[in-house]
């Protein structure tokens, strides 16, 4: 093939251009830390990157939801534990009042204490989490109980608040007022829950010195304790499930972030090496070009 000067110059310029553009690619990768900057660099990586970003973002959100669900359950659990303590105290007082050796003075004191405990119970029934009433079902902006212990609102047992904690995973985080204060039933406006019925009966009995009713109260309080234990066990189980989910989401988060990084991040060491080698090629082609272009017969004719 006949080689002409223009060919040499053209080829050199185009090869230098190619070398430079390869170097630019590696430099861009080095600067951004990413394998691709536009989807055409690698459509497969780009499509996966989109999916993984969404996955990671959803997992982050689910983790937040789990944390919030846990705090809600913690507040509920502590309210229920307090109710448990109150019931325990009421039971002790009932035992004390029922043994027949108490003076009317003592009975009156016991009665006063039980009344105080009832008020305390009403306060617990209206407990809030971040300004929302936790036992009010869907009516979180309204109090569950009136001061006399009767229900202030209707709460149906279907009013369960569900948090999403996974793509196909959700958990109910509330305990409805009826379930808790009405022995597993529903709450109806104006009616009294079984707990308050029992308390009121006890107070009346103490006032009247009716020892039969006081004795009966012991059995009823045991039923309430059982109901409470059932709910506490349920909350414990739910909390436990949330902890497991939290762990799993933590692992998923790590895994997906790792996948995302493997998918789109560059191997810095490898990239620097490739950049260096491109740099050498570029230098060599510059040096070669300088040699080729320079001499011609013109330089040797005197």
Partner 1 sequence: MNPGFFGLEIAVRGLYTAQRNLDVINHNVNNINTPGYSRQIANQSASRPIALLNGTGMLGTGSDVTGINRIRDEYLDFKYWSENTTYGEWECKKALMADLEVTFNEPSNSGFSTMLDEFFNSLQELAKDPGSEAVRALVKERGITLAKYFNNMATHMEELQVDLNHQINTKVNRINSLGSQIQQLNKQIYRSELDGNVANDLRDQRTLLIDELSKLVNIDVHEVVAGKLPNGKEDKRMLITINGKPFVDHYDLTKLAVKQRADKLNPEEDVVNLYEVMWEDGNSIQIRGGELKGLLDIRDGNEGENGSPLYKGIPFYIKKLNQFVRVFAQAFNEGIIGGVDMEGHADGIGADNSTGVRFFTMLGTGNLPMSSSDFISNPDCYNELTAKNFCVSSDIINDISKIATSDTPDQIGNIENINKLIKMRNNTHMFTEGAPEDFMKSIVSNLGIDSQMAVRMSANQNAMIRQVENQRLSESGVSMDEEMANMVKHQQAYNAAAIMINTMSEIYDILINRVGL
Binding footprint of partner 1, residue count (CB under 8 A): 53
| Token reading at 244 | 């497991």
In the complex, what is the shortest distance from the CB of residue 127 to partner 1, in angstroms, rounded to a whole number? 14
Cα atoms in the Cβ-side hemisphere of radius 13 Å centred on 77: 16
Q: Candidates 125-133, 179-187, 223-231, 236-244 — which segment interacts with partner 1 by CB under 8 A?
A: 125-133
Instruction: Out of 137, 177, 178, 183, name the contact with partner 1 by CB under 8 A.
Output: 137
Instruction: Out of 24, 33, 50, 204, name the contact with partner 1 by CB under 8 A.
Output: 50
User: Rounded to 5 degrees, what angle do the CA atoms 163, 127, 145 make?
Assistant: 110
In the complex, what is the shortest distance from the CB of residue 50 to partner 1, in angstroms, rounded to a whole number? 5
Specify the residue, 56 or 213, whose C-beta has the smaller distance to partner 1: 56
Q: Is 232 in the site for partner 1 (CB under 8 A)?
A: no
How far apart CA 183 and CA 194 sit, in angstroms, is 6
Specify the residue, 99 or 294, whose C-beta has the smaller distance to partner 1: 294
The beta strands (E) that lie in the chain are given as 128-129, 132-133, 162-166, 169-172
Compute φ and ψ for 245, nearest 5 degrees: -60, -40
Specify the residue, 14 or 204, whose C-beta has the smaller distance to partner 1: 14
**SS3 (DSSP) at 277:** helix
Specify the residue, 104 or 131, whose C-beta has the smaller distance to partner 1: 131
| Token reading at 262 | 């493997």
Q: Is 101 in the site for partner 1 (CB under 8 A)?
A: no
How far apart CA 107 and CA 24 sit, in angstroms, is 92
Q: Candidates 83-91, 108-116, 133-141, 265-273 — which segment interacts with partner 1 by CB under 8 A?
A: 133-141
Instruction: Out of 20, 24, 64, 184, name the contact with partner 1 by CB under 8 A.
Output: 64
Specify the residue, 59 or 86, whose C-beta has the smaller distance to partner 1: 59
Do β-strands 132-133 and 169-172 pair in parallel, antiparallel, or remain unpaired? unpaired
| Token reading at 195 | 């707990």
Contact track, partner 1, 65-94, x by CB under 8 A = x--x--------------------------
Q: Is 4 in the site for partner 1 (CB under 8 A)?
A: yes
By the 10 Å C-beta count (0-12 exposed, 13-18 middle, 19+ buried), 268 is classed as: exposed
| Token reading at 188 | 């109806």
| Token reading at 2 | 């006949």
Element holding 217 (H helix, E strand)? helix 211-264
Positions 138 through 177 that interact with partner 1 (CB under 8 A):
138-141, 159, 161-164, 167, 170
**SS3 (DSSP) at 20:** helix
Instruction: Out of 12, 22, 23, 53, name the contact with partner 1 by CB under 8 A.
Output: 53
| Token reading at 117 | 């405990």
By the criterion CB under 8 A, which residues form the site for partner 1? 1-7, 10-11, 14, 36, 38-44, 46-47, 49-51, 53-54, 57-58, 60-61, 64-65, 68, 130-132, 136-141, 159, 161-164, 167, 170, 264, 296-298, 301
């Amino acid at each position: 093939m006949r080689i002409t000067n223009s060919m040499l110059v053209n080829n050199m310029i185009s090869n230098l251009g190619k070398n430079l553009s390869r170097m630019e690619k590696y430099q861009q990768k080095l600067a951004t830390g990413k394998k691709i900057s536009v989807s055409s660099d690698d459509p497969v990586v780009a499509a996966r990157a989109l999916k993984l970003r969404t996955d990671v973002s959803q997992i982050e959100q689910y983790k937040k939801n789990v944390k919030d669900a846990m705090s809600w359950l913690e507040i509920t659990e502590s309210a229920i534990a307090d109710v448990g303590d109150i019931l325990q105290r009421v039971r002790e007082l009932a035992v004390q009042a029922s043994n027949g050796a108490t003076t009317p003075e003592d009975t009156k004191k016991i009665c006063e204490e039980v009344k105080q405990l009832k008020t305390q119970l009403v306060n617990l029934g209206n407990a809030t989490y971040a300004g929302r009433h936790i036992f009010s079902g869907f009516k979180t902006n309204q109090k569950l109980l009136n001061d006399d212990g009767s229900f202030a609102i209707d709460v149906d047992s279907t009013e369960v608040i569900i948090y999403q904690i996974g793509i196909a995973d959700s958990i109910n985080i509330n305990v409805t007022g009826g379930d808790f204060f009405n022995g597993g039933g529903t709450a109806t406006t104006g009616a009294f829950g079984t707990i308050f019925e029992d308390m009121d009966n006890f107070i009346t009995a103490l006032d009247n010195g009716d020892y039969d009713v006081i004795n009966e109260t012991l059995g009823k309080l045991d039923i309430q304790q059982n109901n409470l234990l059932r709910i506490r066990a349920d909350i414990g189980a739910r909390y436990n499930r949330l902890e497991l989910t939290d762990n799993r989401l933590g692992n998923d988060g790590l895994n997906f972030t790792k996948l995302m990084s493997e998918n789109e991040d560059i191997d810095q060491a490898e990239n620097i090496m490739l950049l260096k080698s491109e740099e050498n090629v570029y230098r060599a082609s510059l040096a070669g070009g300088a040699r080729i272009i320079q001499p011609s017969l013109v330089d040797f004719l005197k």
